[in-house]
Structures are given as structure tokens and as C-alpha cells.
Structure 1
Amino acid sequence: MAKINELREKRAKIWEQAKAFLDSHRNETGILSAEDTAAYEKMEKDIVDLGHEIERQQKADDLERELNLPTSTPLVSKPDNVNRESKTGTASEKYNKAFWNQMRNRSTQEVRNILSEGVDSEGGFLVPETFENTLVQALDEELVIRQLAHTFTTASNAHKIPVVATRGKAMWTEENGAITDSDTSFGQKTIGAHKLCALIKVSEELLNDSAFDLESYFNQEFARRIGEAEEEAFVIGDGSAKPYGIFDDSEGGEVGVTAASTVTITADELIDLYYSLKAPYRKNGVWLLNDSTVNSIRKLKDSNGQYLWQPSIKDGETDTLLGKPVYTSSSIANAASGTKPIAFGDLSYYWIGDRQGVTFKRLNELYAANGQVGFLATKRVDARLIVPEAVKILKMKGTVSTGG
């Protein structure tokens, strides 16, 4: 924690120096000399590098806290996790042990009988509750969108959500005058269950090595692979065998501003995007963009000469743009002709539906010729923006689209 705070303070100090440098070294036309540009870009690179170091340190601290957690935390609920002996409703300790024995192929008849308590419809063994919860936490740390969105668990392939399409209005009328109908109309959004798979191959030698922490490896590697695939879909997914993303043309956020340039974003355009979002959504509004775009808008000022972007100083805070938190994702497009590099809105209206749990299958024969064993993780998830007006998009001049 102390290390992170130290890095944040150092980054903020360099940013203040960079702002002062810009203000003092611009010539009458507002342009830096080649030498001054190189000096500023060096400070800018230091700011970006420190930001990445802060992220790495935060992940390291989170991982250390995770590894220091007690290993005897009670297990709960699925899969059919009633303790047969105590009847307490907690997960079976035998199931958890049997699951990892099965992954290492140390199966006995007793193990298989225990595992039969938690078999999904496609024959895979449901992940024990402790491992599944850890995996979900890892996804939350890796994914920007999942942290900000509304997530829920669905029990069916089609979770229907009623949405108000148009609102009724009150009206003034003369005494005894005719009253015009103004009813509220309702629409409907559907959250399905798209299938996401990740395959890992492990050598038989490594698998049989009792010193190899199979659970920890699966936790980290499956979280990374599933997390990257989900993040990309939540950002630019087109709904074809995957969720609709926030930047999708047909089901994503509404275009609030179209930039005058194909590659350059101005301060006025960011301010226009901010105010294109209705005030109730602005209260919880956040910015979504990639690191390259943050880098290009860091020098922009408002009409009062104040920088739009401000670095975070305190632990737990994010950088801000026009006073609102900034979140970055590598899945978001760069500023180029026709792309959508920036979104601003309330992402609690982006709903993510997780169905069932994560399931595993051990593939003994498929890679046996190579001396490997395959492990297949499967989860079902869907997502979409329930209220498109809750997110506004900045689109660059041009005709090429990044979403849909």
C-alpha cells in the first residue's frame, strides 16, 4: 500500500511539472520546439510508465492478499453441496478433494461416486464453490467492464428484461377540454447464454508432480483467457455467438459527438460528449478509452485553461477527465477514420448475465500422443446495454466502424 501511494505521489508530481513545462515553453503560436517536444514526451512517458507500475503493484498486492487468505473458509451451496453427514448446507469437503483428484486422474470408485453429485447437463464436473468464487474474483480484477456493469445470475437461456420505451406525459387542458392519451410503452431486452470455452494442455509429468499447484495455475490461466475474451466482447461484441458490446453499432451506446477530424480529438468535443449525456446518467458517468487515447488527450485544456485530465493521487482513486473517473481497456479502438475511441456513460445499465457456474472436463485421449492432458473450462454468459441513451459515444470522422 505504501509503495502504491509513493508511486501515485511521484506520478502526480511529474504531471504538475509537465503542465508547468507546457505552459512556460510554448511560443507565441502555442507550439513547442523540437527540443521542448522531446523533453515533454520524456515526462509523458514517465507518467504512463508509472501508471503501469501502479497497476502491476496493485495486482501484486491483491494476489498476496489472496494467497494469505485462510484455506479453511467454509464452502457453500452448489453443486448439490449439502454435507451428507452434518446436514449444515455447506459444500461437501469430499467433493472438493475429489474434484482435484479427478483433475489429476487419481480416480477411485469412491471419488467418482462423490463427483456424481455435481455433474452438469453436458457431463462436465461443476467447479467446487471455493475455486469458482476465486475465479470470479480474478475476472473482476482483470476486466474493466465487469467491474462497472450490473451483473446477475440467470437460470435459463433467455432472461427477459422489460424496458420502458416511451414515457407518458402530463398535459395542460382547458376546463371540460379533451384529454389526449399519453401512455407509457414498454419494450423488452433479452439476455441469453453464449458459450465461452478455454482449453489448457498440461504435460503428464507436470500433472503428476505433487509439488505443482494445479488449482492455482488453473485459477490464474483460465481467468486470464476467459477475462480477455469477455472484455473484448463486452466492448465491441456484435451479438453473433457472443454478447453485444458497448461500442456496437446496433445495440451499443448512442453516438453523442462526431469528431471533426479523423485522428484528432479536441477539448470542445470531449466537453460536448460530456453534456450530450443526460444529467441523471452523468451522476454515475465514467469514461472508457484506451491508453493511447488517454495519451493524446492529456494535454487538452478547457476554456479556463484547466487541464481536462487529472491523475489520481490517493489509493483507490482513478484518474479523472472533466471530474469523472477514467477507465482504460485495450479492446477499445484507437482514434482513426470512422472508429469509436471514447465512451462516456453510466455502465450500471450494461447488464451481464452469468448462467450456471464454470465447468471443467478432463480430456485424457485427445492429446495423449503428445504426452499431454487437456482441460476444458466452459462458462455461459451474455450481456447488453439495456438503455442505449445511458452511454454516449464519440465517433471519429469517417465511414469505417469498429463495432457491429
Structure 2
Amino acid sequence: MSQIAKQLRAERGDLIIKARAILNAADVTAEQMAEADKMMARADELMARIERTEKADALAIELDGSLRAEAERRGVSAGDIEAEKEREQRLFKAFVTGRVSALTDDDRRIVAQRIQAAASVGTTTAGGYTVAPDFMRELLIAQKAFGGVRGAARVIESGTGVDLPWPTMDDTSNVATIVGENTSGAAGTDLTFGSKTLKAWTYRSGYLVISLELLQDSAFNFDTLIRDALAQRFARGQNPHFTTGNGTTQPEGFVTGATVGYTMPTGNTATVSTDGLIELEHSVDPAYRAGARWMMADATFKGVKKLKDSQNRPLFLPGFTVGAADTVLGYPVSINQDMATPAANAKTIGFGNFQNYIVRDVMGLVVKRLDERFAENAQVGFIAFQRTDGRTVSAAAPIKVLAQSAT
């Protein structure tokens, strides 16, 4: 981790300690309360910067590790894999900037193969450019870093988009029993299996439009620009469905598939209490509390940060050490801006093991270059397609939600 991130964490920790000292005082003036609010707001700003810095460090480490693993799997050197990656980046940039003709014959042959591979079924015309595996891996990591469900879920990849049945089982009601010597046991209870089906919904990015002058004159790293833009667009489009999707015409959101673990008592349409969080925590079977986390919108988290236990100790603890997450009651917190904020009957907080929520990606991101559509404005457009699905696959209830009161 970079020294900058360490310094930012130390600065953030000092701000939180000072703010708590003010808030825990016996008599707090309005001016002091406003100062404490400013400190906490600054701490939030620092956390956003810390997360970006640490995620960039983690991305570099993950990509370096995947490069070494790929080299070992194929029995080649890391230098060979790096050279392939550089070539793919060069080819993709040539495709983006319209300079394929300037490539060598071998390079043009590879580009032609990728364009043909991306053509629509039954069509001989070029459909787009199938991006290289490294580009796709970087895109998925960038989407994960964007936050929300994907960052907490278990992500799998499949080579095709056919329906993928996922077996489920809940044997928690069956127990072993004691039998006497030479006594036959009771009839056994068979394992009961179920199944959830992961589909492959097609998401499209919308148009990315770039001026012809910029493409021709700039030495800008367009593959990175397009990757980051696509990552954010796909994340913004998919995360609402991973959160509250209906499961029939879109992915099934974890909130949609979850049961209510606790409902706040009457009078708590807009507030969350310490007791409410404790009740939600213990509504989840202990088997699913290992590796569990909270998920809520930032506005909800702001209120949770102010909660204390019966000994007047805050439930919220900031992550001071390298890579440490902020915790509430000892569990890490994921911010998901597509979750409801406190209001009557709203389901505002999720808790449980989100590794039981599966995001299924179909490999083969296709980027299409649109030369004619925006030609009159001297622009070139790009559009991308990604197929994915998500749903909770456990037959039990690994994730539960807290609901606000009706009145």
C-alpha cells in the first residue's frame, strides 16, 4: 500500500477521534456540534480517497498475480504474457482510433478475427471487436471497485450464456440421534435439493461519442478511457438490479430474495436503532454470520455512525490499519447507493454473507465502433454489450434485511 494511503488513514483517524471527543462531552453547543459534523464530513471525503487509492493498489497487485498465474498455466514466461497483453492493447487502440491499416499484416489478421468473432449470429458483416481477456478482467475489477453488490458478492464467469442451474440444499432441520445398542435407527431423512437458475441478461452501455479530431491527434490512452467509462455505466445499470431487481425480466436483487429479519417498531419510519441492528444481526443463522457484512446507503450509514451501545460506546469503528474496512458491531460495511433510505416500510439495511449472492458474467464483451451514425458531427461512437445475471442461491436465508416501521 502506498505511503499516501497510510497518511490519509492516519489523518482520518485523528478527525474521528476529535469528533467523538466533542460528541461524547456532557454539554455540546450548537457550534461544537457543527464542528464535529464538519470533521465527520471531512473523514468521509478522506475515506473515498483512501478507497480509490487502495483499490488502485489492489488492482495492480491482482493484475500482476493473474499475469504470473497465466504464465505458469501456459508454461511460458511472464515476459511473454506481458508482450501479448501489450500487443492486445495496441490492437484495440488501433481499432478504437481507426488506424488498423497502419498495423502489420499479422496484427491486421488478428483484428479481423476479433471483428469476425464479434459479428452477429448468421451475419457475415463485422459486428464489433471482442476485447482481450486482460481488458475484460480489468473491466470487471473496475466494476467491482465501483462499489455495491458486485464488490461483496461471489462472481463467476461462464463461456456461454445458456441457463445455468445452481443446486441448493438446506439440511439444517435434520440432526443426528442417539440409538441404543442393537437397536435400529429411525428412518433417515433424505437430503432435499433445490435449484436456482442463473440467466444472462444483456446490458448495453449506451453511446460513447468521441470527436474525430481527438481520436486522430491525441496520444491519449483510449483503451483505459473506454474501460473506465464502460465499468461505471455497467455498474450503474446492473447494481440497481442486483439490489432490488424482480428476477424475471432482470436479475433478482438480494433485497427481493431476502426475508425481513427485523421490523423497526412504530415511530421509526426514518430512524434506525442500536437494538434494531442487534436484532437484525441475530436474525441470521450463525452459520451465515461468518464472513457477514452490512449493506446500506450512505445516508443510512450516516445515522448508524451516531449509534451507541448501552455502555455509551459507538457501534461504528473506523478502519485504521492498512486495507481495514469500517465496521459496525464488528462487521464490515458496504455502501450501496441503490438501497432505500429510511422511510415508511422501506427495506434499508441488508446483513449476512453476500458470498451466497452469485453474479454470473458471460465472457465476451463486445465493443462496436459506429463510424457512420455520428459522421455528420465529425464524431465516432462506441457501444458495448455485457451479459450477466445475479441472485441469492442458498436455500436457507443467508441475507436478511431491516424494514422501517409503517408509521
Q: TM-score per shorter chain, which class?
A: 0.7 to 0.9
State the partner residue of 1:394: 402
- Structure 1 residues 47 and 156, CA gap change in structure 2 (3 angstroms): closer
Provide closer, same or farther for how the CA distance between residues 20 and 213 of structure 1 changes in structure 2, counting only shifts above 3 A. Answer: closer
Q: Is this contact kept in 1: 2:269–2:345, CA < 8 A?
A: yes
Against the structure 1 CA distance between its residues 94 and 74, is the aligned structure 2 distance closer, same or farther, given a 3 Å change threshold?
farther
Deviates more, 1:305-314 or 1:136-145: 136-145
Describe the SS at the equivalent of 2:25.
Answer: helix
Could you tell me which amino acid in structure 1 is paired with residue 94 of structure 2? Answer: N
Task: State the SS of the aligned residue for 2:8.
Answer: helix
Which of 82, 101, 107 is the aligned partner of 2:94?
101
Specify the SS of the correspondent of 1:358: strand
SS where residue 302 of structure 1 aligns? coil
Q: Structure 1 residues 115, 50: closer, same or farther in 2, change over 3 A?
A: closer
Residue 236 of structure 1 corresponds to which residue in structure 2? 244
Count of residue pairs brought into register by the alignment? 378
SS at match of 1:5: helix
CA distance in 2 between counterparts of 1:74 and 1:313 reads 31
| 1:219-274 C-alpha deviation (Å, 9 max, x unpaired) | 221122122222222222222543111222xx2x2210111210011101111111
Is the counterpart of residue 157 in structure 1 residue 155 in structure 2?
no
Question: 2:69 and 2:401 mapped to 1: Cα distance?
Answer: 43
Q: In the alignment, is the contact (CA less than 8 A) between 2:239 and 2:338 conserved in 1?
A: yes
Residue 287 to residue 38, structure 1, CA distance change in 2 (3 Å): same
Q: Is 1:323 the equivalent of 2:324?
A: no
SS in 2 for 1:48: helix
Q: Distance in 1 between matches of 2:4 and 2:70?
A: 36
Is 1:22 matched up with 2:12? Answer: no
The residue aligned with 2:260 is: 255
The Cα shift of 1:313 comes to 0.6
Match of 2:39 in 1: 43
Partner of 2:128: 124
In 1, the alpha carbon distance for the partners of 2:69 and 2:313 equals 52
Shift of the alpha carbon at 1:293? 1.2
Q: How do 1:350-389 residues align onto structure 2 when only pairs under 5 Å count?
A: 350-387=357-394, 389=397
The aligned amino acid for 2:38 is K
Structure 1 residues 361 and 308: CA distance shift in structure 2, 3 A: same
C-alpha separation in 1, matches of 2:292 and 2:197: 24
Aligned residue for 1:279? 286
Tell me the distance in 2 between the aligned counterparts of 1:51 and 1:336. 27
Summarize deviations over 1:320-363 as a string: whole Å, max 9, x none: 10011112122222111111111111111011111122111111
Aligned to 2:235: 227
CA distance in 1, matches of 2:286, 2:110: 55
Tell me, yes or no, if the aligned pair for 2:161 and 2:387 is still in contact at 8 Å.
no
Would the alpha carbon gap of residues 207 and 284 (structure 1) be closer, same or farther in structure 2, given more than 3 Å must change? same
Aligned position for 1:305:
312
Of Structure 1 and Structure 2, the greater helix share is in: 2
Distance 1:96 1:327, change over 3 A: closer
SS of the residue corresponding to residue 38 of structure 1 reads helix
Structure 2 residue 13 is the aligned partner of structure 1 residue 12: yes
**How far apart, CA to CA, are the structure 2 residues paired with 1:272 and 1:221?**
40
User: Structure 1 residues 333, 166: closer, same or farther in 2, change over 3 A?
Assistant: same
1:171-221 Cα offsets, whole Å, 9 max, x none, are 567887893552221111011111111121111111112423221211221
Question: Which runs of 5 or more structure 1 residues have no equivalent in the other structure?
Answer: 27-31, 400-404
Q: 3-state SS of the aligned residue for 1:51?
A: helix
Task: Identify if the C-alpha distance between structure 1 residues 92 and 113 changes in structure 2 by more than 3 Å, giving closer, same or farther.
Answer: farther
Give the Cα separation in 2 of the matches to 1:257 and 1:246.
16
Deviations 1:51-102 (A, max 9, x none): 2343344456668x59x98xxx79979xxx9x9xxx99x9598765444323
Q: Which residue of 2 aligns with 1:29?
A: none
In structure 2, relative to structure 1, the CA distance for the partners of 1:186 and 1:120 (3 Å cut) is: same
Do the aligned residues in 1 keep the contact of 2:152 with 2:334 (CA within 8 Å)? no
Normalised TM-score (structure 2)? 0.82
Instruction: Quote the Cα distance in structure 2 between the aligned partners of 1:37 and 1:217.
Output: 42
Whether contact under 8 Å (1:262, 1:335) holds in the other structure is: yes
Q: Show the 5 A alignment for 1:122-201.
A: 122=120, 123-154=127-158, 155-166=160-171, 168-171=174-177, 179-180=186-187, 182-198=189-205, 199-201=207-209
- Aligned counterpart, 2:225: 217
Counterpart secondary structure, 1:195: strand
Residue 24 and residue 365 in structure 1: after superposition, are their counterparts in 2 closer, same or farther (change >3 A)?
Answer: same
TM-superposed deviation, 1:367: 1.5
CA–CA separation in structure 1 for the residues paired with 2:202 and 2:245? 14
SS in 2 for 1:335: coil
CA distance in 2, matches of 1:234, 1:187: 21
Q: Distance in 2 between matches of 1:307 and 1:98?
A: 54
Match of 1:294 among 280, 285, 301: 301
* Cα shift at 1:41: 2.5
More off after superposition, 287-296 vs 127-136: 127-136
Residues of 1 paired with 2:119 and 2:192: CA distance? 39
Deviation (angstroms), 1:300: 1.2
